[in-house]
């Protein structure tokens, strides 16, 4: 478990977080302890000093009333009592020579003779006499009696040092496990918090190694990290779909071009096998030129379809009146329709708007109108209309043409599909595929209703939600 945590923390952020967390924990523990230690030390010292002051007052009172003999008696009483709370007592003459001294047995270690060398100053409240060990001291206060004698009472700091030492030991015993616990807890939390990021990194490594289907597991936290992982997975899904789409498009284009390329090769081979006939060469070259143009057109349309199908296409979305686009296309096909005596009628109200890429929509309508004129016998009729409901907009291209047999109707949207009766007409079999791909790229749908011999109605349906105004 610990090694797992460490492995999880190898990342700089995890380690940094843990160090910060542990340092803050250690510092605040230290601060808290120091504060408590200071409070305890000062309260113990105040208690001791209060006791010493009370004692010196008591003994000074005894001296004032009962003189030296009274004090001696009082001190000898103290000696016999020999309690643990015994005080050090010293009475010194005017020259600071000891007159009376009471040194409890536990105070023998203090060099009390040194007191004769230091005449107490009335301004110095407390004197300290060092013991053998560094921390212990005899803390005493002096009072000047009415006859100029000096009365000194003191108490050892040993007892309170013992309590403070015990406190320090408790602190070490508590703080070390606490900081260690904090360190492990910090490591655990940092490692846990960074797990989703590590999963994303591991997934990226797997993807770069070629396992495109790898995804980061979604964390159950519901926070920003979860959102990040979801967005990352969504982005990889999209990239994967795009790559798959592009690969499929490439396969399709390669497959679709194989036939015309073989035909082109066949024309050249036949020309070469036909001998030295210049006329045949000329015809073959003309055929090759025509075929290459077809291939070029096919390639361009196939690329357009693939782009639209994979979603790579960039749509320049605008809101335009449907009638405007329809009018442009009807104008464009005016001569073609006239040549076939087909009447083209536009029944689109001026206030119907569509939010689309107008250039692409012209391509769509041009293909539908081209087909409608192409597959309608001379003297026929084509009508373009539009209607809208709350959610969607529909544009219909209705003709009175040859219609489509029900067996073929599901295939007409396939690439390179050409109906049996259409072979006599010019065409690549890509027009409707392009229409479908462009409409899908706009988030719409296509539909067709047809009755052989009576005519067909091609419809495009577009959502009305998109708006760029």
Interface with ligand ADP by CB under 6 A: which residues? 367, 371-372, 375, 399, 401-404, 412, 417-419, 422, 427-433, 456
Closer residue to ligand ADP, CB minimum distance, 182 or 401: 401
Q: Are 154 and 141 in contact (CB under 8 A)?
A: yes
Least separation in angstroms between residue 379's CB and ligand ADP is: 16
Least separation in angstroms between residue 436's CB and ligand ADP is: 9
Closer residue to ligand ADP, CB minimum distance, 18 or 363: 363
Closer residue to ligand ADP, CB minimum distance, 311 or 427: 427
* Position of minimal CB gap to ligand ADP: 419
Least separation in angstroms between residue 402's CB and ligand ADP is: 5
Closer residue to ligand ADP, CB minimum distance, 329 or 402: 402
Closer residue to ligand ADP, CB minimum distance, 74 or 370: 370
Question: How remote is the C-alpha of 205 from its chain's centroid?
Answer: 18
Closer residue to ligand ADP, CB minimum distance, 233 or 408: 408
The residue with tokens 């690439």 is 415
| Measured distance CA(45)–CA(155) in Å, rounded | 11
Least separation in angstroms between residue 238's CB and ligand ADP is: 29
Least separation in angstroms between residue 405's CB and ligand ADP is: 9
Q: Are 306 and 415 in contact (CB under 8 A)?
A: no
Smallest Cα–Cα separation from 154: which of 43, 49, 40, 41?
49
Closer residue to ligand ADP, CB minimum distance, 95 or 420: 420
User: Quick one: residue 401, left, alpha or beta (phi over 0 = left, psi -120 to 50 = alpha)?
Assistant: beta
| Measured distance CA(184)–CA(102) in Å, rounded | 57
Least separation in angstroms between residue 269's CB and ligand ADP is: 27
Least separation in angstroms between residue 349's CB and ligand ADP is: 24
Least separation in angstroms between residue 283's CB and ligand ADP is: 25
Closer residue to ligand ADP, CB minimum distance, 74 or 307: 307
Q: Are 366 and 359 in contact (CB under 8 A)?
A: no
Q: Are 179 and 27 in contact (CB under 8 A)?
A: no
Q: Are 156 and 110 in contact (CB under 8 A)?
A: yes
Closer residue to ligand ADP, CB minimum distance, 260 or 419: 419
| Measured distance CA(423)–CA(420) in Å, rounded | 6
| Measured distance CA(417)–CA(415) in Å, rounded | 5
Least separation in angstroms between residue 331's CB and ligand ADP is: 20
Q: Are 459 and 396 in contact (CB under 8 A)?
A: yes
Least separation in angstroms between residue 297's CB and ligand ADP is: 11
Closer residue to ligand ADP, CB minimum distance, 120 or 419: 419
Least separation in angstroms between residue 424's CB and ligand ADP is: 10
Least separation in angstroms between residue 363's CB and ligand ADP is: 12
Closer residue to ligand ADP, CB minimum distance, 129 or 329: 329
Question: How remote is the C-alpha of 163 from its chain's centroid?
Answer: 52
Closer residue to ligand ADP, CB minimum distance, 219 or 429: 429
| Measured distance CA(316)–CA(466) in Å, rounded | 12
| Measured distance CA(255)–CA(460) in Å, rounded | 29
Residues 6+ apart with CB under 8 A from 211: none
């Amino acid at each position: 478990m610990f090694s797992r945590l460490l492995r999880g923390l190898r990342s700089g952020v995890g380690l940094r977080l843990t160090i910060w967390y542990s340092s803050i924990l250690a510092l605040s523990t230290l601060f808290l302890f120091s504060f408590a230690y200071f409070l305890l030390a000062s309260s113990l010292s105040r208690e001791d000093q209060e006791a010493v002051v009370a004692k010196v007052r008591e003994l000074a009172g005894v001296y004032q009333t009962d003189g030296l003999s009274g004090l001696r008696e009082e001190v000898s009483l103290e000696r016999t009592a020999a309690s643990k709370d015994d005080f050090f007592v010293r009475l010194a003459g005017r020259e600071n020579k000891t007159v009376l001294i009471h040194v409890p047995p536990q105070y023998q270690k203090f060099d009390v003779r040194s007191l004769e060398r230091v005449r107490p100053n009335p301004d110095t409240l407390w004197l300290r006499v060092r013991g053998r060990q560094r921390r212990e001291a005899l803390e005493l206060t002096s009072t000047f009696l009415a006859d100029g004698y000096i009365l000194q009472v003191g108490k050892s700091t040993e007892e309170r040092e013992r309590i403070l030492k015990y406190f320090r030991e408790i602190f070490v015993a508590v703080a070390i496990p606490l900081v260690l616990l904090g360190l492990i807890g910090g490591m655990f939390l940092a490692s846990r918090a960074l797990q989703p990021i590590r999963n994303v990194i591991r997934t990226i490594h797997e993807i770069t190694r070629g396992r495109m289907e790898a995804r980061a597991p979604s964390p159950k936290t519901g926070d920003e990290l979860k959102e990040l992982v979801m967005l990352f997975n969504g982005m990889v899904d999209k990239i994967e779909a795009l790559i798959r789409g592009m690969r499929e498009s490439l396969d399709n284009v390669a497959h679709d071009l194989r036939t015309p390329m073989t035909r082109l090769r066949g024309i050249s081979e036949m020309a070469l096998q036909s001998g030295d006939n210049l006329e045949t060469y000329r015809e073959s070259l003309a055929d090759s030129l025509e075929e290459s143009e077809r291939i070029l057109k096919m390639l361009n349309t196939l690329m357009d379809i693939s782009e639209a199908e994979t979603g790579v296409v960039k749509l320049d979305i605008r809101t335009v009146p449907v009638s405007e686009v329809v009018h442009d296309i009807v104008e464009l096909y005016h001569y073609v329709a006239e040549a076939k005596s087909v009447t083209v009628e536009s029944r689109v109200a001026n206030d119907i708007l569509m939010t689309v890429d107008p250039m692409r929509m012209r391509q769509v309508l041009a293909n539908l109108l081209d087909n409608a004129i192409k597959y309608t016998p001379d003297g026929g009729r084509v009508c373009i209309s539009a209607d809208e409901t709350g959610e969607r907009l529909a544009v219909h291209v209705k003709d009175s043409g040859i219609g489509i047999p029900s067996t073929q109707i599901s295939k007409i949207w396939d690439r390179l599909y050409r109906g049996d009766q259409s072979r006599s007409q010019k065409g690549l079999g890509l027009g409707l595929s392009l229409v479908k791909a462009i409409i899908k790229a706009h988030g719409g749908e296509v539909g067709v209703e047809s009755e052989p011999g009576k005519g067909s109605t091609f419809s495009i349906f577009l959502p009305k939600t998109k708006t760029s105004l």
